[in-house]
Amino acid sequence: STTSTQGGRIDFENVTFAYEGASGDPVLKNITFTCLPGETVGIIGSTGSGKSSLVGLIPRFYDLSSGTIRINGEDISEINPKALREKVAIVPQKATLFTGTVKENIRWGSEDASLEDIELAVKMSDAYGFISDSPEGYDTRIGQGGVNFSGGQKQRLSIARALVKKPEILILDDSTSAVDVETEARIKESLKKYAKGLTCLLIAQRISSVVDADRIIVLDNGEIVGNGTHGDLLHNCPTYLEIYQS
Ligand code: DGT
């Protein structure tokens, strides 16, 4: 069995964005790019370059100052919030788990997910091992703030929570920063295998997390300064080369 294989197309058209009340330059300037259904697109750039702000616009955490974002051709400002939530799953930088069981935490927001859906989601996020190692399995209680889980385990649980929704678009905002390189590779492998058509946006700090993406978008100070494969960017994007060599 697989999760949703219908990936979503994303189009940013001349998107400019400033936080409400903030003065100075907008955080994102004239952003234009497309992600095709099923593509994995990395987003890289220094701290404060606008990566989290950019992906936060897709589930409409914030309103654009100007420009348009489309999902499968439809302007996101015209998609009803519930439908948008079903299409786009975002795993934020800081995983937020609540006191409750593992199962409740994974099901949060997708209450009718079957045990089978949950099982597939935890397999894809590489959480199956530590959940089944625990005597209470899915009924293991998560303490306040998830104190009884490591940072990497919490990230894997929140990736499972996103996957169980069977989204068309999965956004991982630096969501594997606390897992080791082997685990990260396993998660990417199983996403490729089980969530074939899923469109993935992957914010990363380390280049190694995005080298094998179909494309990588490079942000610098709120602007796109590169958009291509790892090989392309090494040749034609000084900012990328700089991150690579740092
Ligand atoms: P990171 O996560 O440290 O790698 O940085 P990015 O690339 O994800 O950047 P981002 O989008 O968090 O921040 C871009 C700029 O926007 C930066 O100057 C900080 C500012 N900013 C971020 N969040 C907010 C917010 O909630 N309100 C205001 N006024 N400014 C914000």
Ligand 1, residues at Cβ distance < 6 Å = 19, 22, 27, 45, 47-53
> Is a pLDDT exceeding 50 seen at residue 1?
no
ipTM at complex level: 0.97
For residue 195, give the amino acid letter.
A
User: What mean pLDDT, rounded, does the chain reach?
Assistant: 92
Q: What is the pLDDT of residues 12-53, one digit of tens each?
A: 999 999 999 888 899 999 999 999 999 999 999 999 999 999
Q: What is the pLDDT of residues 188-242, one digit of tens each?
A: 888 888 888 899 999 998 898 899 999 999 999 999 999 999 999 999 999 999 9
Contacts (Cβ under 8 Å, ≥6 apart) of 85: 59, 109
Q: How far is the CA of 69 from the centre of ligand 1 (A)?
A: 19
Q: How many Å separate Cα 66 from the centre of its chain?
A: 23
**Regarding the domain delimited by 10-94+168-245, which CATH topology (the fold level of the hierarchy) does it fall under?**
Rossmann fold (3.40.50)
Which of 68-72, 109-113, 180-184 is modeled with the greatest confidence?
A: 68-72
Closest-CA residue, ligand 1 atom 25, reads 19
Confidence of residue 84 (pLDDT cuts 50, 70, 90): very high
Residue 49 CA: nearest ligand 1 atom is 7
Q: How far is the CA of 54 from the centre of ligand 1 (A)?
A: 9
Confidence of residue 5 (pLDDT cuts 50, 70, 90): low
Q: What is the pLDDT of residues 209-222, one digit of tens each?
A: 899 999 999 999 99
pTM above 0.95, yes or no: no
Closest-CA residue, ligand 1 atom 30, reads 19
Q: How far is the CA of 53 from the centre of ligand 1 (A)?
A: 6
